[in-house]
Structure 1
Amino acid sequence: MVAGKIHAETGHMKPFSLYTVIGGCGIAALVMGVVLPEVLPGWRWAHEPLHSTLETVGGLAAIFMGIVLLQRTAEHTKGKFIPMAGGFLGMGILEVFHAVSIPGNGFVLLRSLASFFGGLGFGLMWVSATGKTHPTIKWMPWVMTGGALAIGLWTIGFPQYLPVMVRDGAFTPTAVAPKSFASMLFFAGSLRFFLDYRTSGRSEDILFASLALMFGLAELMFTYSVIWGSRWWFWHFLRLLTYFFVLGYVGRGYLATVSELRSSLIQTQQAEQASRQSEQQLRTVLEARERLAQDLHDGVIQSTFALKLNLERCQRLIPQNPQEALTGISDVLMELKIVIQDLRRHISGLEPECLNGRQWVEEMRTLVQTVKRSQNLPFDLQIDQEAADLLTPEEATHLLYVVKESISNSVRHSHATSGTVSLQVREGTVCLEVTDDGLGFDLENTYEGVHGLNNMAARAKRLGAHFKVWSKPDRGTRILFEIAKKGSHARA
């Protein structure tokens, strides 16, 4: 992801121009390495604190780079950077040991082996770049890390066993050999990355090619330098400059990654918010649909069923009492207009008309009279006006639907001969009871009126009321609906 961004920036540069810039930097470094001893012959500056600082910063930068490369390998590079990650980790650890050691054989040995570890990581890129990573390569970062720690501890703990690395102020062949070999490995790694860049065009390949080239030149200068001399200091600064170049690349990529992650997080939060809003809208639609189904079932359908019963009664009256039949038909037509108004209100998405206590009582009387007249099924009204007045409009509307559904079930299913509708105040609650003496049913088994009773339970939940049904075969049915009312008391 990060490489893609930087590749977009370097992709417009022609290969010839890019090679010219890199080659020019390499030549300039070589020229400086040759010219400095001529300009400053015999110059020495033994400054251990500055040297320790440079090596510590370089070592930590190498360790950080190794960790970054391991992460890149885990993401998408199919193991390509595994050897180089191990090389950076081993080189960084040995450089830190080198920074804290005192000048002497161990001091030089740690620096030489650090270069060798780094060069080995770059040189092995010829193996991993084939795309067929050997199982042994996967363990290389951990082997190099463990080996570097062991070498660093051994060098500091047992200096008497170390080979001679400096004699008469000059590096011995033992000191120069690892550096020379490391220089060749760095140049080999640089060539591998240049070839990869010509194939892939990725900016990270040209970056590491340049990095390996600079490291190789630095190691080459070490071969012809003396401790604390101008060329010796120059290659230290060259290595540090190379590390800063890499860290700049990594830091830029990190900032780009953080920016993308922040944008992704914002997009995710926006998507989650939109999802919650959609979920809430869907829930609202489903709740509205459920309420509509309940109101249609308990209101319009029950009213339509009552009209059917009245029409059947009028049909029976026509031969015997035509005048009464006409009167009944007129009543049906008036009630049909009310049903049509209810249907239009539902279609328009309007809430049902809410009732007050007195309107609710009148509705109950009309409903009971209609059922008695059309079906010869008397329901005894036992309504306390005080209880009715305690009802809110929403509660009164829901209780009207409950009574309609209950009486409809009594007419259609129970074959009852009588019933009761009671509304009373009991111990701080308004209690509605609807009973009949019909066939009843088994509450454990499925029955025809289950949808209507489910609607009653849903209405109770919406109002925070208590709902209960008692019924047994041949023992009738009793429906209880209790609504708590603060400050209300039963009358003596």
Structure 2
Amino acid sequence: MERSSIDFNLIAIITITFIFPLAFGFFITNDGIWFTSVTLHTALEASAGIIAIAVATILLAKSKHKREINHYYWSAIALYAMGIFDFLHSLTEPGDLFILLQSLAVFFGGLFSLLVWVPKKTVNHFLFKLIPFIFVSSILFLAVIILLFNYIIPPMREINGEFIPFAIYLNLICGVSFFITAVFFINLYFNKKNKENLLLIG
């Protein structure tokens, strides 16, 4: 009975976070149903960015009392990166900067999420706070540089409308990274029987 419940939870989360978005994206791009709203996009992306930052803060708090660098800790850093770039992305008009910020959001989110595979370790209070500070400061610094010098951003689309290889590779790395990270959380879910780990797959 317990095994059935676990399988149902896993199937549900995979359907919601992977299958449904892929199917929806395929549907709207192949059946001529294309809806564009800058206002709606801004609201959704801004909300996603704020939620990501809020969840990241909560995840860090879960490890704070033990000063333990674990999968919650690294997931928080990944969410901070995604949240910052997503929020900035929501404030831009469609164009090269718009595409670059979105690509960097998923790229850094995916890349940093791979750190969940690093064995957990207890550190002192200073180091526990220093690592996120370095990561977040670096992301903010990069974001500021991009915003200040956005005029040197190369075209992110080819003449035919296709994304340039750079943007494609960033998203490809993101996809592979999140898949590898998902394997970690699925394995952890079956070992620990903790639904929180399953939720982090999404």
Instruction: Determine if the TM-score, normalized by the shorter chain, exceeds 0.5.
Output: yes
Shift of 1:133: 6.4
Shift of 1:103: 2.4
Shift of 1:44: 5.5
Superposed counterparts of 1:18-57, under 5 Å: 18-25=9-16, 26-40=18-32, 43=34, 45=36, 47-57=37-47
Change (3 A) 1:177 1:133: farther
Consecutive unaligned residues of structure 2, counting only runs of 5 or more, are: none
Find the residue that maps to 1:166 and give its secondary structure.
coil
Superposed counterparts of 1:218-229, under 5 Å: none
Task: Please say if residues 107 and 171 of structure 2, whose CA atoms lie closer than 8 Å, have aligned partners that are also in contact.
Answer: yes
Shift of 1:102: 2.6
Q: Which residue of 2 aligns with 1:119?
A: 110
Change (3 A) 1:164 1:140: farther
Identity of aligned residues (%): 27
Which piece of structure 1 moves more, 92-101 or 186-195? 92-101
Give the letter for the 1:18 counterpart.
N
TM-score by length of structure 2 reads 0.85
RCO (CA 8 Å, sep 6+): is it higher in 1 or 2? 2
Find the residue that maps to 1:103 and give its secondary structure.
coil
Mapped pair 1:131 → 2:120: yes
**Distance in 2 of aligned mates of 1:125 and 1:133:** 15
Q: Which residue of 2 aligns with 1:102?
A: 93
Aligned match of 2:177 in 180, 185, 192?
185
Consecutive unaligned residues of structure 1, counting only runs of 5 or more, are: 1-10, 212-492
Find the residue that maps to 2:200 and give its secondary structure.
helix
**Distance in 2 of aligned mates of 1:85 and 1:191:** 18
Count of aligned pairs between the two proteins: 195
Give the letter for the 1:191 counterpart.
V
Shift of 1:73: 1.2
Give the letter for the 1:131 counterpart.
K
| Structure with more of its chain in strand, by fraction | 1
**Distance in 2 of aligned mates of 1:191 and 1:75:** 27
**Distance in 1 of aligned mates of 2:197 and 2:186:** 7
Change (3 A) 1:76 1:205: farther
**Distance in 1 of aligned mates of 2:122 and 2:174:** 23
Find the residue that maps to 2:173 and give its secondary structure.
helix
Find the residue that maps to 1:167 and give its secondary structure.
coil
Q: Which residue of 2 aligns with 1:454?
A: none
Give the letter for the 1:126 counterpart.
W
Task: Please say if residues 69 and 123 of structure 2, whose CA atoms lie closer than 8 Å, have aligned partners that are also in contact.
Answer: no
Please tell me the root mean square deviation across aligned C-alpha atoms, in Å. 2.4
**Distance in 2 of aligned mates of 1:68 and 1:107:** 28
Shift of 1:77: 7.7
Q: Which residue of 2 aligns with 1:71?
A: 61
Q: Deviations over 1:250-303 (max 9, x none)?
A: xxxxxxxxxxxxxxxxxxxxxxxxxxxxxxxxxxxxxxxxxxxxxxxxxxxxxx
Task: Please say if residues 86 and 140 of structure 1, whose CA atoms lie closer than 8 Å, have aligned partners that are also in contact.
Answer: no
Q: Which residue of 2 aligns with 1:171?
A: 163
Q: Deviations over 1:98-154 (max 9, x none)?
A: 111232222111111111121123211011xx224689x954422221122112211
TM-score by length of structure 1 reads 0.37
**Distance in 2 of aligned mates of 1:149 and 1:134:** 25
Change (3 A) 1:34 1:181: same
| Structure with more of its chain in helix, by fraction | 2
Mapped pair 1:158 → 2:154: no
Which piece of structure 1 moves more, 165-174 or 51-60? 165-174
Give the letter for the 1:95 counterpart.
D
Give the letter for the 2:29 counterpart.
P
Q: Deviations over 1:295-344 (max 9, x none)?
A: xxxxxxxxxxxxxxxxxxxxxxxxxxxxxxxxxxxxxxxxxxxxxxxxxx
**Distance in 1 of aligned mates of 2:175 and 2:8:** 25
Find the residue that maps to 1:206 and give its secondary structure.
helix
- Bigger-Rg structure (1/2): 1
Change (3 A) 1:71 1:100: same
Find the residue that maps to 1:110 and give its secondary structure.
helix
Change (3 A) 1:33 1:101: closer
